[in-house]
Amino acid sequence: MYLTETHLQVRDMARDFADQVIRPVAEELDREEKFPAGLYDEMAKLGLFGIGVPEALGGPGFDTLTYALVMEELSRGYASVADQCGLLELISTLLVRHGTAVQQGLLGDILAMRTKVAYCITEPEAGTDVSGIRTTAVADGDGWVLNGGKIWIHNAPVADLGFVLARTDKDAGNRGMSIFIVDLHAVGVTRGPKEHKMGQRASQVGGLDFKDVRLGAGALLGAAGRGFHMMMSVLDKGRVGIASLAVGIGQAGLEAAVDYAGQRRQFGKAISEFQGVQWLLADMAKDIEAARLLVQSAAVKIDRGEDATKACSMAKCFAGDMAVARTADAVQVFGGSGYIRGFEVERLYRDAKITQIYEGTQQIQRMIIARELLKKGARV
């Protein structure tokens, strides 16, 4: 089996944490749209943030497959919590790959959740089309001046630092973007109101506006003009993370549906004895397992240093579609109860939808898969 003893130990730790700590409070977090700071403190102590950060930089130094396993288990508990793990994995990966020694020194507080971070890309005219970025950073002496705005940014209402993609050369296209580490408490930074989302409601999302925000030379992450390429370099890992999250949502739905089908009685017998319900459960189980295997295969390709772009897009696309379809089946098994707030499957159905949208829509994933097929052929 390709899962090592270490993989299994970390997975089981994350599973126990999800069952014992996350799931009991998931409904409350969803209802109150609460940022679970105390829960994140516990996760930080267990080393569940920055899973791929090398030990020399204060992380556990685990591989992408371990990250996928942790994301799935945390998402079984509540996808909003797994989202925080995914966000910190992307930020820490950027810092490990491109940060100066001083910038990498931020990792300790970030992974301990003493410093909360936001990954600031999306704008009104730049969602899937990142080339539409209008936020600018203009060189000024030995620093920069930042102007513009971002929307739908994860952690924006609570973050201390923003990793902001801005245009530094308006004539250079994708080669004219850079990433800056911005103090979100600085003069000129304004936060918009917290958005109220359909699902994953404990994830804090909002807007950020920058007006003549002065940045020192040390705010630039990596080289000027390489921001787009740096951002793209972590997308494969990001898609594995979201795909794993989608698998966790689906798995939670299956577990709830199997338990309910064994308890709910109609026409004198448990509904699990009816073939129609059995087939729903069977289809849920096979699709969840197929998605899990796609995700883990993509993670292994990353860890081996192979070209993983197609595999990651396939995993994200399939897992996101699976999560939406199969949580709908879980609602169907519950019948009218599944449509009522307070039943887990109602929340899971809402939580699943965003997995078809963020980290690249399903339409973009299909474009990438087709592009890779036409460029490199159909053989595996």
Output the pLDDT for position 330: 98
Output the pLDDT for position 2: 81
Rounded CA-CA distance 116/90 in Å is 13
pLDDT of 320-346, one tens digit each?
Answer: 999 999 999 999 999 999 999 999 999
Q: Annotated catalytic sites, by residue?
A: 359
Output the pLDDT for position 217: 95
Rounded CA-CA distance 22/56 in Å is 30
The three state secondary structure string of the chain is CCCCHHHHHHHHHHHHHHHHHHHHHHHHHHHHCCCCHHHHHHHHHCCCCCCCCCHHHCCCCCCHHHHHHHHHHHHHHCHHHHHHHHHHHHHHHHHHHHCCHHHHCCHHHHHCCCCCEEEECCECCECCCHHHCCCEEEEECCEEEEEEEEEEEECCCCCCEEEEEEECCCCCHHHHEEEEEEECCCCCEEEEEECCCCCCCCCCEEEEEEEEEEECHHHEECCCCCHHHHHHHCHHHHHHHHHHHHHHHHHHHHHHHHHHHHHCEECCEEHHHCHHHHHHHHHHHHHHHHHHHHHHHHHHHHHCCCCCHHHHHHHHHHHHHHHHHHHHHHHHHHHHHHHCCCCHHHHHHHHHHHHHCCCCCHHHHHHHHHHHHHHHCCCC
Output the pLDDT for position 380: 72
Residue 277: CB partners within 8 Å, gap ≥ 6? 261, 271, 333
The segments of the chain whose pLDDT lies below 70 read 1
Amino acid (1-letter code) at residue 44: A
Output the pLDDT for position 255: 98
End-to-end CA distance of the chain: 21
Output the pLDDT for position 1: 56
Residue 227: CB atoms within 10 Å: 31
Specify the pairing of strand 136-140 against strand 265-266: unpaired
- How many whole angstroms from its chain centre is CA 102? 26
And the tokens for 30?
A: 């969803």
And the tokens for 226?
A: 């390489």
Rounded CA-CA distance 372/314 in Å is 11
Output the pLDDT for position 129: 85
Q: Are 333 and 348 in contact (CB under 8 A)?
A: no
Output the pLDDT for position 368: 96
- How buried is 202 (Cβ within 10 angstroms: 0-12 exposed, 13-18 middle, 19+ buried)? buried
User: Quick check: pTM over 0.85?
Assistant: yes
Q: How far is CA 119 from CA 94, 157, 370, in A?
A: 11, 12, 28
